[in-house]
């Protein structure tokens, strides 16, 4: 709870009060952080003490100086394995249905990212996404035998 409050305080300070909204991990349009984003958050907010389990941490490392404590906190909380996921933000330019079945339609499309690069994506959805809209897409890059490198979509959230 304290860690969530710390994140909220940092977010308000960085982005302003108008950018606050409440959302649960249980809903479909929740955007989770990539490991690098979480690690960067720890690094950027180490000056905003405390985190939720700080008292045990402080007891364990009571001999360290304040600056050493901050570095030790980041070191202990970093996620140590690589995150194979990729996050991109861009406009879904076009797509085609490549498989229709009893479940959700499977599609292949192209997204123009905010930096102008074009990325191939593929995924399935209950409802096909509208084109010419901006999305936050989290997925894993795969080599498809016919389509080449594509981002296999795990989450596709319309950007407001």
* CA-wise closest residue to 121 among 84, 160, 148: 148
Domains of the chain: 2-77 (no CATH), 85-158 (2.40.50.140)
Q: What is the pLDDT along the chain (160 residues), one digit of tens a residue?
A: 566 777 777 777 787 777 676 666 666 776 777 898 888 888 888 777 665 677 788 889 999 999 999 999 899 889 998 899 999 999 999 999 988 766 788 899 999 999 999 999 999 888 889 999 999 999 999 999 888 999 999 999 998 7
Would you say 51 and 73 are in contact if contact means Cβ atoms under 8 Å apart?
yes
- pTM, rounded to two decimals: 0.64
- With the CA atoms of 32, 35, 40 and 41 taken in that order, what torsion angle do they form, in degrees rounded to the nearest 10? 40
């Amino acid at each position: 709870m304290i860690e969530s409050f710390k994140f909220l305080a940092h977010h308000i300070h960085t982005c302003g009060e108008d950018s606050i909204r409440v959302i649960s991990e249980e809903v479909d349009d929740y955007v989770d952080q990539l490991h690098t984003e979480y690690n960067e958050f720890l690094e950027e907010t180490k000056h905003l003490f405390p985190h939720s389990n700080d008292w045990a941490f402080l007891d364990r490392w009571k001999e360290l100086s304040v600056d050493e404590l901050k570095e030790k906190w980041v070191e202990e909380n970093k996620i140590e394995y690589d995150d194979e996921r990729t996050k991109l933000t861009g406009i879904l330019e076009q797509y085609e249905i490549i498989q229709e079945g009893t479940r959700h339609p499977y599609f292949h499309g192209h997204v123009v990212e905010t930096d102008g690069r074009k990325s191939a994506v593929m995924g399935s959805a209950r409802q096909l996404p509208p084109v010419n809209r901006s999305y936050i897409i989290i997925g894993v890059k795969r080599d498809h035998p016919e389509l080449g490198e594509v981002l296999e979509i795990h989450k596709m959230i319309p950007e407001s």
